[in-house]
Amino acid sequence: MAKDKDTEPTAPPKSIDFAPARAVVQDGGVITPQSLPNDLTDRQARVMSVLPDAAAASGVAPELLVGMWGRESEFSTHTTMTSPTGVKGDFQVSRVAVVETLAKNGDEIAEQLDAQGLKKQADKIEKIHDKAKDMDGPEIRSYARDNGKLIDSLRAEAPEAATYTAAYYSKDIAQKLDVDPAEPDSFSIVYAGYNIGPGNAQKLQDGKAASGWEVDANKGIAGNKSADKQISSYEKAIEKKLEDPTGQKMLSIIEDVQEQACRPGKSAAATYAPEGELRANIPELRTAFSIATLGDHQHNDTTMDQQLRPSPAAPLTPGA
């Protein structure tokens, strides 16, 4: 959730409630609805319609993406979708990080979104990629500052593009830190790099506590006094969101889709199937997620498991 001081708006930050978005009761191992929705929201469904593909294409574990998504925007249920530091959207990526990621990976991301029928998003990403691919750091910051409306139309208004950007940004961070983003042991350090920058994450790898404005802006997760405690904080943040009932349901959908598409005998980094094989359309995701029939609180684990099991994946149909 770190902002870039040169590019983010200077308006007073809006107040955001980072408390859990939903509450449930555990009764004999069965999750019963209290304030859970009966279905995916439109925005959640749009993220989930591409998240498995984004994970597959980038080599980032979908569990890491789900955990970061939950931490950054409460699974796209924040009332403002804007953090106190000014970053926006489902994955709370700064404008500079968007441009850096698309400068390096935009052609690949655009191709995948275009293949999924999201041509408007693909065209915008291709435009940024073509402009920024040969830029250095200061030029990228200047471009991000001068093209805020275009960038925000992707990070804040296009959940599919935001999901791909977050996945590839995480991949780039992992490469800088020489870790495998498909391995759970790397989740905490990758998320640290995502939240407070790769430079600070490198400090944590070297056993030095991170510091600076990025840490000050993210005290809730980064504001510990030692490297070990900071790394542990990022690990706990991911684990907490994966244990969240909404996070569990998102993972259940992903696991079922992976079961259909993943190729056996591959290493962890190659576990996820190529782009295109993991597509799932929004109506199927809604069916998989729905807990409306749990209202009588009488269903057992087997019934709930059947509810969460989606039908075979179909081509993506929503517009950009």
The model's pLDDT over 176-208, given as tens digits with 9 standing for 90+, comes to 999 999 999 999 999 999 999 999 999 999 999
Contacts within 8 Å (CB) and 24+ apart, 152-155: 152/88, 152/95, 153/124, 154/98, 154/121, 154/124, 154/125, 154/128, 155/88, 155/89, 155/91, 155/93, 155/95, 155/98
Please report the pLDDT score of residue 261 as a whole number: 59
Contact of 148 with 34, CB cutoff 8 Å: no
Secondary structure of 6-31 in HEC code, one letter for each residue: CCCCCCCCCCCCCCCCCCEEEECCEE
Backbone angles phi, psi at 88, to 5 degrees: -130, 160
C-alpha of 267 from chain center: 23
Q: Could you give the C-alpha distances from 93 to 110, 134, 263, in angstroms and in order?
A: 18, 21, 31
* CB-neighbour burial class of residue 1 (10 A; exposed 0-12, middle 13-18, buried 19+): buried
Instruction: Tell which wins on pLDDT, 45 or 276.
Output: 45
Contact, 29 vs 223, CB < 8 A? Answer: no
Helices 95-115 + 148-155 axis angle, to 10: 60
Residue 262: Cβ within 10 Å count = 16
Sequence-distant (6+) residues with CB within 8 A of 298 are: none
Tell me which DSSP letter residue 4 carries.
P
Average pLDDT over residues 283-311: 42
In terms of pLDDT, which residue wins out, 160 or 30? 160
pLDDT band at 37 (very low <50, low <70, confident <90, very high): very low
pTM, to two decimals:
0.76
